[in-house]
Amino acid sequence: MKRLLIIALVLIILLSLPLLGGSMIWVMGGADSLDIDGTANVVAEPDPETGRGWSHYGGDARGHRYSAADEITPDNVDGLSVAWRYSTGDLASRGGLMHRTASEGTPILAGDQLVFCTPFNEVIAIDPGTGAERWRFDPEIDLEQRPANQYVCRGLAQWRDPDGPGACAHRLFMGTNDARLVAIDAATGAPCAGFGDGGEVRIDPGMQLLWPGEFQVTSPPVIVGNTVIVGSAISDNARVAAPSGTVRAFDVRTGEPRWDFDPIPRSADDPAAGSWEGSQSPVEGHANVWAPLSVDEERGWVFLPTSSPSPDFFGGLRPGDNRHANSVVTLDAATGALVWGFQTVHHDVWDYDLASQPGLYSVVRDGQRHDVVAQVTKTGMVFVLDRDTGDPFLPVEERPVPQGGAAGERLSPTQPYPAATPQVVPDRFDPGDAFGITWFDRRACRKLVEGAVAEGLFTPPTEQGTLLNPFTGGGANWGSAAFDPSRNLLVVNMSSLVHHIQLIPEGEFERVREVFHDQEVSPQTGAPYGMKRETLMSPLGLPCNPPPWGVIAGIDLASGDIVWRKTLGTTEDLGGPAVKLGTPNFGGPIVTASGLMFIGAAMDDYLRAFDVATGEELWRGRLPAGGQATPMTYEWEGRQYVVIYAGGHARAGTRLGDEIVAFALPGG
């Protein structure tokens, strides 16, 4: 009944559009003229070493998400059709657990097979041309652990032994939901017996967990030389003295520990200790690296996107900027020694983790190539840094931000803002601008935010409630960005939603949790406040902030200019007709040498192709389930394929499935 009501009301609005005037057309996302339209110019030839395969998560070790494959072009992309489909069988065998999954994996091309991991950490190898299964490996993870971040596996890493052939000379590495680092033979899927204990290393979180799923590994490891490096995913807002966000490195052959790096300084002689102004060494945990890492193999460096310290929404017990949390941190991959760090949020009390892979690109400016790091963020900002020093390549300035907040909080008076590139999505929400397709819907949204503090980006959490825009899912998230090296063009998708965050005094927490038992209410044990987090949605299930709720943009990294910005996604699979309002999106874009960009991510079940120079949508292919994963592309036996994991995302509410779907042009 609710779905029928939504459909009827949206149809009424659509039929009324000619009578309503231009402002309403913009609200409904129907006027392309109000998007930013432009054309990205070709400035240089692509890197000739860029391959036509997809050997790493992110395409290559530096996270370009770019392929030299060029059979599929803007002129023929509308001829794409399904070439093959492969089902993992999870819907049939593990259907009772699918409501705890997010299918965010991206396959890689490893020799003569595609390999990928399921949300339950099964590794499967399939034929690149037919999708026929070659082998599968099941590490038999703990399915009773109640994972804090759902069952997730985003990808694998591969390594070839330069000393020659033999068992496990070509091996695959994966982190698991129950905190293991696993090594298997790429040819057979058998565990590499010489690595750790029978092919695995159990990662010690360093303290007793509150429950088994508090600590996971969800993003792929990275490999530099003979060292394999892995981060972790840790439950937010459970406690102050939480597991640390230590990044760990192991010998790629034996699994022996090489080094570890804790982004939070634990001793007074650490150079970052001065940014933690408490009288003792920090007891806080996290600042973990749950998003994908990047590697500069030539320099021998690994680049970490770190998260916020624990807990997310109160920092009064950790005064100071809290470096190296919320930072791009560069380490020597052989030793774990710090090279440089750049902090994107000081003293984070908004859960504005660095959730995206740092992009290591070469940008052409004034005829010269410059090696940079481009970091897209949950705040909608894009920071572009010199890769050698961490200094801004595009200017960054400190700007005053809202103050106040809860008793005992000590906020940073300023925050860093890129000066050349405005936020890609809105950074504030005025309750008076509440959206609704009817007067009733709009009034309900306004009532939801009555009394909330809304002073724009970086408004601190409060007891009366604070509006966070963008919400804590971003802006940009783990899908990261893609880069077209021939155009200096960064392509990034972002969501635009609002969170209502409310601090709960410690003595009132249990009462509030009982009343709001169906919402997210977390204790932040050890802090004087718990928290309640709610996405602002109307009674009809639509966001309370004005659309578009999802966008994709092309940004010139030489100047910082937003060249084009377009709405991403329709309401087709949200219980109504296909209206171009944009949707929240999880998963990232890829770019090809022919001038195409592919992306799933949106909450309608499509893989889309865009002209990378203009942002014009050229094609879309229907998926059997949500495509909240980053696609990949490769050439095999003279034919180019574009592949995506269509498994859906339980927390986002998209259609669940268990298929890898490959698209190609006819013939081959």
Which residue numbers are catalytic?
Answer: 351
3-class SS of residue 210? coil
Token pair, residue 381, equals: 């900002």
Report residue 298: phi and psi, to 5°.
Answer: -65, -45
- CA angle 298/304/306 to nearest 5° reads 170
- Show the tokens assigned to 492: 């990034």
d(CA 499, CA 469): 7
Q: Which of 243, 344, 341 is nearest to 285 (CA)?
A: 243
At 60, which amino acid appears? Answer: D
Contact between 501 and 236 under an 8 Å Cβ cutoff? The reply is no
Cα torsion through 7, 9, 15, 20, rounded to 10: -140
* Angle made by CA atoms 457, 463, 465, in degrees to the nearest 5: 45
**290 neighbors 307 (Cβ within 8 angstroms):** yes
Yes or no: say if 133 and 124 are a contact pair by the CB < 8 Å rule: yes
Strand partners, 419: none
Estimate to the nearest angstrom the gap between the alpha carbon of 31 and the chain centroid: 28
Around Cβ 568, how many Cβ atoms within 10 Å?
A: 29
Do 156 and 181 contact (CB within 8 A), yes or no?
A: no
Pair 248, 201: CB distance under 8 Å:
no
Q: Which tokens sit at 123?
A: 């590794």
Which residue's entry shows tokens 């504030």? 428
**The tokens 């966000």 sit on which residue?**
245
Q: How many residues does the chain have?
A: 668
Residue pair 246/336 in contact (Cβ under 8 Å)? The answer is no
**Nearest 5°: phi and psi at 397?**
-130, 150
Longest dimension (CA), the chain: 73
Amino acid at 307: S
Of the CA atoms within 13 Å of residue 171, those in its CB half-sphere come to 30
Secondary structure percentages of the chain, helix, strand, coil, to 5: 10, 35, 55
In contact, 120 and 140? CB cutoff 8 Å: no
The residues pairing with 538 across neighbouring beta strands, listed in sequence order, are none
